[in-house]
Amino acid sequence: MSRLPKKDVVIVGLGWTGSIMAHELAMAGLDVVAIERGPWRDTAADYNIGTAPDELRYAVRQDIFLRPAQDTQTARNSPDQMALPIRKYGSYLPGNGVGGAGVHWNGHTWRFFPSDFRLRSHYVERYGAGIIPEDCTVQDWPVSYDELEPHYDFFEKVNGTSGKAGNLKGAIQPGGNPFEGWRSDEYPTRPLSPNLAQTMFQKAATDLGMHPFPLPSGNISEAYTNPYGVRLAPCTYCGFCEWFGCANYSKASPLTCVMPALVRQPNFEARTLCEVTRVNTTPDGKMATGVTYVDADGREWEQPADLVLLCAYALFNVRLLMVSKIGAQYDPASNTGTLGRNYAYQTNAGSVGYFSKDTNFNSFAGAGSLGMMADDYNGDNFDHTGLSFIGGANINCTTTNARPIRTHPTQPGAPKWGSAWKRSMVDTVNHYQSVGTQGSSMAYRDCYLDLDPTYTDRLGRPLMRMTFDFKENDLKMSRHVVDKTAEIVRAMGAEKVTTSYKKGPWSVVPYQTTHNTGGAVMSSTPRDGVVNRYTQHWDVPNLFVAGACLFPQNAGYNPTGTVGALTYWALEAIKNHYLKNPGEALVQA
């Protein structure tokens, strides 16, 4: 192993959180190196307009995603089962390379509700302690919405997020989401243009007493220059957004929003095709000394640094802590340890409407975040008295694409092949629209992450083991909101409606969502989590962790907006407090 010259900061992973951390700390004058296990990526070369719209290559064969041959997890539904490797990623698709999952996301850019940040207290205060299910390990966040608000705002400005405010400093705004937390400012760019389906949804939801509003979008509606001086171009509704890189510089991503400014800083360096294998610590385990990584030739390097930032995808930050033996592994049987605890996901389901042949939705013209929403049944925006569940779901009418390999709808009950199948496809394809829900996922005692005893990666390190299933509370919640989607689809004028409820057991096969949360939870005491309210590790003060692994449980929203806000929140603490007393804990345990 070769030891490299020491840096001020070493960052593991160069996606959203890594690029933001690197840029802000390099601007603050620190010498920063980011180590990324995937390749360098650039819009013009890798997501070239001549090659980007290729469903087979990207959405089906998963060309730009992390390949399981490099790293995967084992999975099971309960602790009494034998976990087996996810040989092909299906339920979720981690990103790979510079930009990370921020390249292939849809761009849904949400803020969690103020009540989400004090989830347990909120429900107990309003409904009594009995509403929290047994073995449900939900807890309050150690940071409040008010504290995160300026950081949500700045992340949206970096993204150029397109949307319509619903609550400006407490004043409810027509056309926006009346349930959202207060905003200090309007969205940076106006909403995307709604299509036929969204216009129909807007009317139907309004008629049913709901409060529809446009989805806050990372696909930008108009030309925009962000605070880092980087320019984005208007979205063209190409229909190749989620699972693809954007050739138009229209999707907010680390590549379009941060990287062009970041690489110009002489005190920043990125090393790609280099996989960090562990975080090194002093013999007493009380300080991090840097990281060890393996390059593409198999050579091992030690990169010492004063400050170590874990900015890989949520699952891989947790795994890196585990293989580095930093922190106490959570054990559900004894209910001890914190690392791997409170893994949560997302509870999604919905309805599909089949419309008349003169209703042309033209869904091939879509964008990752082209959608109309209603939050009337999200969070605690509705009275949970007598419902015997906690949580909620957003209701969405989105048009992301009509790519035909994955989307070739037929009438219910039609054959799967042959002439009758083809006829049914032709009769259905342009006349159907789904209305979905994206639901919260609570934390439970036996849903957790640890290291697998059997399977290893190509470098011989144990794979991480995921034990997860959908629980009764979340299934009940989902059923309640999915019933509302059926009402909306009928009100939109569908001739036929089919409804699919979420069911267990969780399967690794069909794509559900890449919103894996928890495992390195932030907490107000070391008993309940891995890092403190500033995302600083409770045991190792010069180690900070970023990403959705910090969430104590997941809300009825996509995580990226909150991940971005937490990153800027942590940066503020690092720049203004930690660097003045390096090596000191920002919160006394």
Partner 1 sequence: MPLTTRRRLLAATALVAFSSQAVARSVTGRLPWSPNEAYPPDVVRPGGWLFLRPEEAATLDAIVSRLIPADDLSPSGKDLGCTVFIDRQLAGPWGTYEWLYMQPPFAEKPLPTQGIQSPLVPQQQYRKGLAALTAHCRDAFGGKTFEQLSAEEQDTLLQGMEKGEVHLPGLTAPQLTTTMFFAQVLDNTIEGFFADPIYGGNKDMAGWKMIGFPGTRYDFRDVIANPGKPYTKPPVSIMGRPEWNGKPA
Q: Which active-site residues does the annotation give?
A: 515
Residue with tokens 């930690």: 578
DSSP 196-234: HHHHHHHHHHHHTT---EEPPBSB-SS-EE-TTS-EE--
DSSP label at 95? B
Piece of the chain touching partner 1 by CB under 8 A; list 81-89, 384-392, 435-443, 560-568: 81-89
Establish if 414 lies at the interface with partner 1 (CB under 8 A).
no
Q: Which is nearer to partner 1, 57 or 118 (CB)?
A: 57
Contacts of 388 (CB under 8 A, 6+ apart): 131, 476
Would you say the C-alpha torsion 557, 216, 366, 430 has a positive or negative sign?
positive
Q: 236 by DSSP, 3-state: which? A: coil
Give the count of alpha carbons within 13 A of 8, CB side only. 17
Establish if 268 lies at the interface with partner 1 (CB under 8 A).
yes
**Is the separation of the CB atoms in 53 and 63 below 8 Å?**
no
Establish if 503 lies at the interface with partner 1 (CB under 8 A).
no
Establish if 349 lies at the interface with partner 1 (CB under 8 A).
no
Q: List the one residue from 3, 88, 126, 496 that touches partner 1 (CB under 8 A).
A: 88
Please provide residue 345's backbone torsions phi and psi, each rounded to the nearest 5 degrees.
-140, -120
Q: Of 239, 232, 100, 222, which is closest to residue 159 (Cα–Cα)?
A: 232
Q: Which is nearer to partner 1, 278 or 423 (CB)?
A: 423
User: Partners of 34 in the beta sheet?
Assistant: 11, 270
Q: List the one residue from 238, 257, 397, 475 that touches partner 1 (CB under 8 A).
A: 238
User: Partners of 554 in the beta sheet?
Assistant: 441
Establish if 297 lies at the interface with partner 1 (CB under 8 A).
yes
Piece of the chain touching partner 1 by CB under 8 A; list 161-169, 222-230, 353-361, 544-552: 353-361
Q: List the one residue from 6, 157, 278, 422 that touches partner 1 (CB under 8 A).
A: 422
Distance of CA 567 to the CA centre of its chain: 13
Establish if 471 lies at the interface with partner 1 (CB under 8 A).
no
Establish if 68 lies at the interface with partner 1 (CB under 8 A).
yes
Q: List the one residue from 264, 325, 527, 577 that touches partner 1 (CB under 8 A).
A: 264
Establish if 490 lies at the interface with partner 1 (CB under 8 A).
no
Q: What is the CA radius of gyration of the chain?
A: 23
What is the closest distance, in whole angstroms, from the C-beta atom of residue 351 to partner 1 in the complex?
Answer: 21
Q: Which is nearer to partner 1, 137 or 248 (CB)?
A: 248
Establish if 295 lies at the interface with partner 1 (CB under 8 A).
yes
Residue with tokens 């720049």: 575
Q: Which is nearer to partner 1, 215 or 238 (CB)?
A: 238
Q: List the one residue from 1, 2, 5, 69 that touches partner 1 (CB under 8 A).
A: 69
Q: 502 by DSSP, 3-state: which? A: coil
Piece of the chain touching partner 1 by CB under 8 A; list 78-86, 122-130, 212-220, 575-583: 78-86
What is the closest distance, in whole angstroms, from the C-beta atom of residue 482 to partner 1 in the complex?
Answer: 21
What is the closest distance, in whole angstroms, from the C-beta atom of residue 60 to partner 1 in the complex?
Answer: 6
Q: Where are the beta strands (DSSP E) in 295-416?
A: 300-310, 347-354, 371-374, 393-398
Establish if 581 lies at the interface with partner 1 (CB under 8 A).
no
Q: Of 47, 105, 116, which is closest to residue 442 (Cα–Cα)?
A: 116
Residue 505: is the preceding peptide bond cis (ω within 30°)?
yes
Q: Which of residues 114-133 bind partner 1 (CB under 8 A)?
A: none
Piece of the chain touching partner 1 by CB under 8 A; list 142-150, 454-462, 536-544, 565-573: 454-462
DSSP label at 579? G
Contacts of 65 (CB under 8 A, 6+ apart): 89, 93, 94, 95, 96, 104, 243
Establish if 240 lies at the interface with partner 1 (CB under 8 A).
yes
What's the CA gap between 482 and 294, in Å, rounded? Answer: 47
Piece of the chain touching partner 1 by CB under 8 A; list 83-91, 109-117, 183-191, 302-310: 83-91
Q: Which is nearer to partner 1, 130 or 510 (CB)?
A: 510
Establish if 228 lies at the interface with partner 1 (CB under 8 A).
no
Piece of the chain touching partner 1 by CB under 8 A; list 72-80, 175-183, 442-450, 546-554: 72-80
Distance of CA 415 to the CA centre of its chain: 36
Q: Which of residues 155-214 bind partner 1 (CB under 8 A)?
A: 193-196, 199
Give the count of alpha carbons within 13 A of 450, CB side only. 21
What is the closest distance, in whole angstroms, from the C-beta atom of residue 516 to partner 1 in the complex?
Answer: 16
**Is the separation of the CB atoms in 583 and 305 below 8 Å?**
no
Establish if 474 lies at the interface with partner 1 (CB under 8 A).
no
Q: 305 by DSSP, 3-state: which? A: strand
Establish if 531 lies at the interface with partner 1 (CB under 8 A).
no
User: Partners of 547 in the beta sheet?
Assistant: none
**Is the separation of the CB atoms in 579 and 157 below 8 Å?**
no
Piece of the chain touching partner 1 by CB under 8 A; list 125-133, 399-407, 539-547, 553-561: 399-407
What is the closest distance, in whole angstroms, from the C-beta atom of residue 273 to partner 1 in the complex?
Answer: 5
Q: Which is nearer to partner 1, 87 or 126 (CB)?
A: 87
**Is the separation of the CB atoms in 549 and 517 below 8 Å?**
yes
Q: Which is nearer to partner 1, 298 or 386 (CB)?
A: 298
Amino acid letter, 52: A
Establish if 576 lies at the interface with partner 1 (CB under 8 A).
no
Establish if 67 lies at the interface with partner 1 (CB under 8 A).
yes
Q: List the one residue from 263, 287, 328, 414 that touches partner 1 (CB under 8 A).
A: 263
Establish if 266 lies at the interface with partner 1 (CB under 8 A).
yes
Establish if 411 lies at the interface with partner 1 (CB under 8 A).
no
